[in-house]
């Protein structure tokens, strides 16, 4: 019983520290290399017969780097995290189908409330002129509270729980 209480207290402390928004306040946005590795693996598996995969993935990577750099440089005080979401992270997509398949990034705002102005500025300053007409990146803006929402609440609304892969995070 004593070990259970100690473990429970440790788990509570760990959860409190992990969920503390002040803990992440001073940290800079950094690319998550494990996330990029996982994303590449998913896309590679979905492109087994695609001889042009390396070239297409390289182009996608270049566009993602532009987006993440713009977010880091222009919106670091407003963005907490960027995750790849949707079908391309769940089972991967055939890169030969671009721009018809969805490339979606979830942007987690540091603010408790979302504003139309932030959404408009992100669209205008980050997602325009990405230097590649075959790659169209969509984004979904959400708060930290929405991001942490339990999967059980997501499933109540008949949405399938999706995989998200962290690409940019506070380190």
- Long-range CB contacts (< 8 A, 24+ apart) of 123-129? 125/70, 125/74, 125/75, 126/67, 126/70, 126/71, 126/74, 126/75, 127/67
Number of helices followed by number of strands (H, E) in the chain: 8, 5
Helices (H), 108-150: 116-125, 144-148
Read off the pLDDT band of 79 (50, 70, 90).
Answer: very high
pTM for this predicted structure:
0.77
Q: What is the pLDDT of residues 36-51, one digit of tens each?
A: 999 999 999 999 999 9
Q: What is the pLDDT of residues 19-78, one digit of tens each?
A: 544 445 568 999 999 999 999 999 999 999 999 999 999 999 999 999 999 999 999 999
DSSP state of 140: E
- Can you tell me the distance from the alpha carbon of 3 to that of 77, in angstroms, rounded to the nearest whole number? 41
Q: At what angle do helices 53-75 and 33-46 cross, to 10 degrees?
A: 150
Read off the pLDDT band of 145 (50, 70, 90).
Answer: confident
How do 164-170 and 79-85 pair as beta strands? antiparallel
CA angle 111, 114, 115 (to 5 degrees): 115
Map tokens 């590449």 to a residue.
40
Query: 150 phi and psi, to 5 degrees?
Result: -60, 145
CATH, range 29-170: 3.30.460.10
Provide the residue ranges of all domains of the chain, joining segments of one domain with +.
29-170
If 0-12 CB within 10 Å is exposed, 13-18 middle and 19+ buried, where does residue 50 land? middle
- Can you tell me the distance from the alpha carbon of 77 to that of 107, in angstroms, rounded to the nearest whole number? 13
């Amino acid at each position: 019983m004593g070990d259970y209480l100690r473990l429970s207290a440790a788990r509570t402390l760990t959860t409190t520290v992990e969920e503390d928004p002040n803990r992440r306040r001073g940290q800079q946005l950094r690319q998550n290399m494990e996330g990029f590795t996982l994303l590449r693996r998913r896309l590679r598996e979905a492109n087994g017969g695609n001889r042009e995969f390396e070239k297409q993935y390289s182009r996608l990577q270049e566009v993602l780097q532009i987006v993440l750099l713009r977010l880091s440089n222009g919106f670091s005080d407003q963005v907490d995290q960027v995750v790849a979401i949707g079908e391309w992270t769940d089972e991967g997509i055939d890169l030969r189908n671009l721009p018809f398949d969805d490339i979606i990034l979830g942007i987690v705002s540091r603010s408790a409330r979302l504003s139309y102005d932030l959404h408009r500025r992100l669209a205008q300053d980050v997602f325009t002129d990405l230097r590649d007409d075959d790659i169209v990146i969509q984004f979904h803006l959400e708060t930290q509270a929405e991001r942490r929402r339990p999967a059980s609440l997501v499933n109540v609304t008949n949405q399938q729980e999706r995989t998200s892969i962290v690409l940019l995070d506070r380190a």
